[in-house]
Chains A and B, each alone.
Chain A
Amino acid sequence: MDGFFDYIFLKNAIYGIILSSFICGIVGSIVVVNRIVSLAGSIAHAAYGGVGIAFYFGLPVTATTMVFSSISGFIVGFLTEKENALSDSFIGMIWAFGMALGIILTDLTPGYNADLMSYLFGNVLTITDIDLILSGILLSLILILLILNYKTVVLVSFDKDYSRVVGYRVNIIYYIMLIMVSLSIVILIKMTGIILVMAMLTIPQSIAIKRCKSLSSMMVLSSIIALLFSIIGFIIAYRFNLSTGATIILFSVIVYFIDTLVNYVKR
Chain B
Amino acid sequence: MKTIVDLQRIYFKYDNEDFWILEDVNLTLKEGDYLIIVGPNGGGKTTLIKAMLGLLTPTKGLVNLNIKQSDIGYLPQYISLKRDFPIKVKDVILLGLPRGKVFSNEYFEEIVSELKISELLHKRVSELSGGQLQRVLLARAVISKPRLLILDEPTSNIDPYGTFCFFSYLEKLNKYMTIVMVTHNLGLIMSGVKSVACVNRKLIFMDKPQINQEMIELMYGVHDQHSCHLGQYLHDEIEHISRGGII
Contacts and interface: CB of A to CB of B under 8 A. Distances in A.
B68 interface: yes
A212 B88 CA distance: 9
A162 to B, nearest CB: 6
B137 to A, nearest CB: 9
Contact of A214 (B53, B74, B84, B87): B87
A180 to B, nearest CB: 19
Interface string B135-148: 00000100010000
Contact-residue size bin, chain B (C-beta under 8 Å from the other chain): 20 to 34
Contacts of B53: 165
Given A166-B70, A209-B86, A213-B124, A154 B55 contact: no
Interface in B65-92: 68-70, 72, 74, 76, 80-82, 84-88, 91-92
B111 to A, nearest CB: 17
B154 interface: no
Given A33-B85, A154-B95, A162 B74 contact: yes
A155 B92 CA distance: 9
Interface residues of A, number: 23
A218 B87 CA distance: 10
A218 B122 CA distance: 16
A70 interface: no
Contacts of A215: 85-87
Contacts of A213: 86-88, 122, 124
Interface in A157-176: 157-159, 161-162, 164-168
Nearest to A157: B85
B69 A166 contact: yes
A33 B53 CA distance: 25
A212 B84 CA distance: 10
11 contacts: A161-B80, A162-B76, A165-B55, A166-B70, A166-B72, A167-B68, A167-B70, A209-B84, A214-B87, A214-B91, A218-B86
